[in-house]
C-alpha cells in the first residue's frame, strides 16, 4: 500500500491544477482507498474545506486537535460549524499525564522561554494527538496554502508522508487568501470572528496575536521567534 500511495502523488499533483476545489476532493476520494481524515483547526482555509467536503457528501472523517489553549472564538466557531453542517468533529486531546508533566516542569507558559520549550509544548498538545487522529488512515487532508510561508511554498498538492505512512493532500495549495475568503463569502461559510480583528493565522491563544500593519500573514504566530522557525511540527517531516 505504501508504494501505491507514493505513486499516487504524481497523478494527483498533475491533475489538481486543472480542477476546482470540489473536483479535487472528489478525485481524491475516488483514488485513495480506505480512510481519509481531514484535520481542521477552524481557520478560514479549513472552513472552506469543510464546506466543500460536506457539499460533495464525501466519505471523509473530520478531526480537530483541542490543545486546551484555544481561543473562546474558536470553540464558538466549532459549535457553529457542527450545527450548520450537521456533523460532529472528533476532538483529540493531549495526553493528560504528559500535559501535567509539561506544566509541572516548565510552567504553564514555559514555551515563551525557548524554542525547545515551545516545540515540547507543541509535541504534547498537537503532534502526539495528531498521531492518534491519523492512525490507520491512508489519506490526510490539510488546509495549507503555498503562499503562507517559504516552507509551504515548496510543498506539492500531494506528498507521501514516510513517517505516517499515508498520502497528505493540500487541496488549497495554489489558492490565495483572497480566493479562500471569496469562496467562503460566496458560500456563506462561517469563519472565525478573530479574522476581522487582525488574526489571520489562528492557533493557541497564548501563541497568537493580531498582525501589525504590513506584517505577513503568519507573523502573529510565535511572534517572539525568528521567522524561519514558525512551524509547530504538524507539517514538517521528522527529519527536518
Which of 187-191, 217-221, 235-239 has the lowest average pLDDT? 235-239
Report domain extents, the chain: 2-197
Residue 63: the pLDDT is 98
Residue 149: the pLDDT is 61
DSSP string, the chain: -HHHHHHHHHHHHHHGGGS-HHHHHHHHHHHS-S-EEEE---SHHHHHHHHHHHHTT---EEEEE--S-B-HHHHHHHHHHHHHHT---EEE---HHHHHHHHHHH-TTGGGG-HHHHHHHHIIIIIHHHHHHHTT-SEEE----GGG-HHHHT--SEEEETTTTEEEE-TTTT--HHHHHHHHHHTT----GGGGGT--S--BGGGB-PPPTT--TTTTBSTTS-GGG---STTS-TT-
Question: Known catalytic residue: 207?
Answer: no
pLDDT grade, residue 238 (50/70/90)? very low
For the segment 134-156, the average pLDDT, to the nearest whole number, is: 86
Residue 155: the pLDDT is 86
What is the pLDDT of the chain when averaged over all its residues?
A: 92
Residue 64: the pLDDT is 98
Among 122, 184, 204, 232, the active-site one is 232
- Confirm if 102 and 124 have CB atoms less than 8 A apart: yes
pLDDT grade, residue 233 (50/70/90)? low
pLDDT grade, residue 153 (50/70/90)? low
Cell for 218? 503568519
Residue 105 has pLDDT above 80, yes or no: yes
pLDDT grade, residue 150 (50/70/90)? low
Question: CATH number of the domain at 2-197, out of 3.40.50.620, 3.90.1720.10, 3.30.980.10, 1.10.287.990?
Answer: 3.40.50.620
- For the chain, what percent of residues have pLDDT higher than 70? 92
Q: What pTM, to 2 d.p., does this model score?
A: 0.92
> What is the tens place of the pLDDT at every residue in 45-70?
999 999 999 999 999 999 999 999 99
pLDDT grade, residue 148 (50/70/90)? confident
Residue 57: the pLDDT is 98
Amino acid at each position: 500500500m505504501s508504494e501505491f500511495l507514493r505513486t499516487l502523488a504524481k497523478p494527483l499533483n498533475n491533475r489538481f491544477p486543472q480542477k476546482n476545489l470540489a473536483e479535487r476532493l472528489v478525485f481524491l476520494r475516488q483514488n485513495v482507498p480506505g480512510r481519509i481524515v481531514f484535520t481542521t483547526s477552524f481557520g478560514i482555509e479549513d472552513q472552506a474545506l469543510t464546506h466543500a467536503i460536506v457539499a460533495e457528501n464525501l466519505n471523509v472523517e473530520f478531526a480537530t486537535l483541542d490543545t486546551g489553549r484555544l481561543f473562546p472564538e474558536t470553540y464558538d466557531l466549532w459549535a457553529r460549524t457542527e450545527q450548520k453542517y450537521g456533523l460532529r468533529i472528533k476532538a483529540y486531546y493531549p495526553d493528560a499525564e504528559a500535559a501535567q508533566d509539561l506544566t509541572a516542569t516548565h510552567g504553564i507558559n514555559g514555551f515563551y522561554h525557548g524554542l525547545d520549550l515551545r516545540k515540547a509544548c507543541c509535541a504534547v498538545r498537537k503532534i502526539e494527538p495528531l498521531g492518534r487522529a491519523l492512525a490507520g488512515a491512508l489519506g490526510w487532508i490539510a488546509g495549507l496554502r503555498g503562499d503562507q510561508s517559504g516552507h509551504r511554498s515548496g510543498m506539492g498538492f500531494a506528498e507521501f508522508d514516510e513517517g505516517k505512512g499515508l498520502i497528505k493532500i493540500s487541496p488549497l495549495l495554489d489558492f490565495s487568501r483572497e480566493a479562500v475568503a471569496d469562496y467562503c463569502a460566496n458560500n456563506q461559510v462561517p469563519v472565525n470572528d478573530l479574522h476581522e480583528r487582525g488574526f489571520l493565522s489562528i492557533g493557541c491563544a497564548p501563541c497568537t496575536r493580531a498582525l501589525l500593519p504590513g506584517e505577513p500573514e503568519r507573523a502573529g504566530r510565535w511572534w517572539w521567534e525568528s521567522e524561519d522557525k514558525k512551524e509547530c511540527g504538524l507539517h514538517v517531516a521528522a527529519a527536518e
